[in-house]
Amino acid sequence: MKVGVVVFPGSNCDRDMYHVLTDVFHLNAEYYWHEKGLPENIDAVILPGGFSYGDRLRAGVIAAHSPIIKDVQKIAEKGIPVLGVCNGFQILVESGLLPGVLLKNESLNFMCEWTNLIVENNKTPFTNQFQLNEKIPIPIANGEGRYYVDDETMKKLKEKNQIVFRYSEVVNGSTNRIAGVCNEDGNVVGMMPHPERAVESDINPIDNKPSSLIFESLLTQMGVAK
């Protein structure tokens, strides 16, 4: 199984993600620079966190026009799993692969803290090993993480079961406490918290197993033995 980790100027969680994929879950992962293309035989793509292009103009908006995004869009149309974490989520939204927008946190401050997610959809390639309403202790680290949609889009998200994660409490003012969503087909998932920072017991002071299930779900989706 080959997983691509897309790297943009300003990405800073790409190595963390690569470490988790290769050293923790023993997957064949490769970095792909944003100016290059993705291979046709790729099995999953991850857009990691960071500050692509220094968050100029708006977080993720410049990276959303990088050459590699056309390949990500084609891969998504084929049903191949795509995960965007933090800045990766912002890029997926700005590129039109996911609905909504990420705004500045309600506090107008950068937030770096532990929180809890609630699993709202366990049918995606990244949540199929969870129970509904399962709690995930996980860190956030963002300044523009407040998810927003209008009432009409929110209605569609609920109808299509596109809300994947919610915060267990109000964190940054996100609409309906939404922390992650998926596309209508369910194969493209974006989330603001950082699972790659929570899967190892050495750096997770609470419980690393729930975050691990995000990656174990991907293994199950692809038929790879854990």
Q: In CATH, what number is assigned to the domain containing residue 133?
A: 3.40.50.880
Is residue 182 among the annotated active site residues?
Answer: no
Q: CB–CB of 129/217 below 8 Å?
A: yes
Per-residue pLDDT at 1:
83
Q: CB–CB of 8/53 below 8 Å?
A: yes
Q: 171: which residues sit within 8 A by CB, 6+ positions away? A: 111, 115, 140, 177, 179
- The tens digit of pLDDT for each residue in 48-72 reads 999 999 999 999 999 999 999 999 9
Per-residue pLDDT at 166:
98
What is the average pLDDT score of the chain?
96
Confidence category of residue 224, pLDDT binned at 50, 70, 90: confident
The strand pairing partners of 7, in sequence order, are: 33
- Secondary structure (DSSP) of 102-163: EE--TTSS-EEEEEEEEE----STTTTTSPTT-EEEEEEEESS-EEE--HHHHHHHHHTT-E
Helix (H) or strand (E) holding 213: helix 209-221
In order of 91, 166, 169, 198, 214, the CA distances from 174 in angstroms are 17, 9, 10, 22, 22
* pLDDT over threshold 90, residue 10: yes
> Average of pLDDT values for 146-159?
98
Out of 94, 120, 144, 196, pick the active-site residue. Answer: 196
Out of 94, 182, 194, 216, pick the active-site residue. Answer: 194
Out of 34, 86, 120, 182, pick the active-site residue. Answer: 86
* pLDDT over threshold 90, residue 209: yes
> Average of pLDDT values for 187-216?
96
Closest CA to 124 of 84, 68, 74: 84
Per-residue pLDDT at 47:
98
Per-residue pLDDT at 225:
61
> Average of pLDDT values for 167-180?
97
Is residue 196 among the annotated active site residues?
Answer: yes
* pLDDT over threshold 80, residue 199: yes
Tokens standing for residue 178: 């939404």
- The tens digit of pLDDT for each residue in 75-118 reads 999 999 999 999 999 999 999 999 999 999 999 999 999 999 99
Q: Tell me the three state secondary structure of residue 24.
A: helix
Q: Quote the CA–CA distance of 77 and 110 in Å, as a whole number.
A: 34
Expressed as residue numbers, the domain containing 215 is 2-222
Q: Could you report how far apart the first and last alpha carbons of the chain are, in Å?
A: 12
Q: CB–CB of 13/49 below 8 Å?
A: yes
Q: CB–CB of 47/4 below 8 Å?
A: no
* pLDDT over threshold 80, residue 226: no
Q: What is the pTM of this model?
A: 0.96
Position 35, amino acid: E
Tally of domains in the chain: 1
